[in-house]
Every structure is written in C-alpha cells, then in structure tokens.
Amino acid sequence: GDGTFRKAPELWRTWSPQSGRLLHPIQLQLAMHALALTKCGGRCVYSTCSMNPLEDEAVIAALLHAAGGAAELVDVSEELPAL
C-alpha cells in the first residue's frame, strides 16, 4: 500500500487510486482471518502503515459489519498512551 512510499519512493510512478481499491479486499481478508483466530474475549489488533482510509477505516467498518455484533471497536488510547 501507500505506507511503503517512504521506503520505496519509486512506487509513486505506478500508484493510482485503483491500487487502494485493490488492497481493500486483501486487507479485509487478513483482518477477518485474524478475528476468526481470536479467542472469545480476546483482543484483535489491526494496524497498517498506510494513510489510505480504504486500507484502514473502511476495513474496520467492513470487519465490524461482517462480524454482526461478535466484535466491537475498543478505544485503548489510555492503555497505550505512546501510540
């Protein structure tokens, strides 16, 4: 995704908005698999190096929708103040 541009600036030449749209289903699949492996009552953390909402917020929204109430978004900012 676009989070690798700092390390590989040559990727700007081939980037397009379509790139983010193509990564969304892959990121969602990864997040859904991680959630399926999470123990009931456990914590699943999703993080990317991307600034693209299609790889971040849109993935979380789709994941929560697909989970049908079996997962929730939790604010951990007080537990992890360094983030």
- Residue pLDDT tens, the chain, 83 long: 666 777 777 877 877 778 778 889 999 999 999 999 999 999 999 988 788 888 899 999 999 999 999 999 999 889 988 87
3-state percent breakdown (helix, strand, coil) of the chain, nearest 5: 50, 0, 50
Alpha-carbon span 35 to 44, nearest angstrom = 6
Q: Which of 49, 51, 66, 74 is catalytic?
A: 49
Alpha-carbon span 36 to 38, nearest angstrom = 6
Global pTM reads 0.80
Alpha-carbon span 10 to 8, nearest angstrom = 5
Extract the tokens encoding 44. 């699943």
- Annotated catalytic residue 40: no
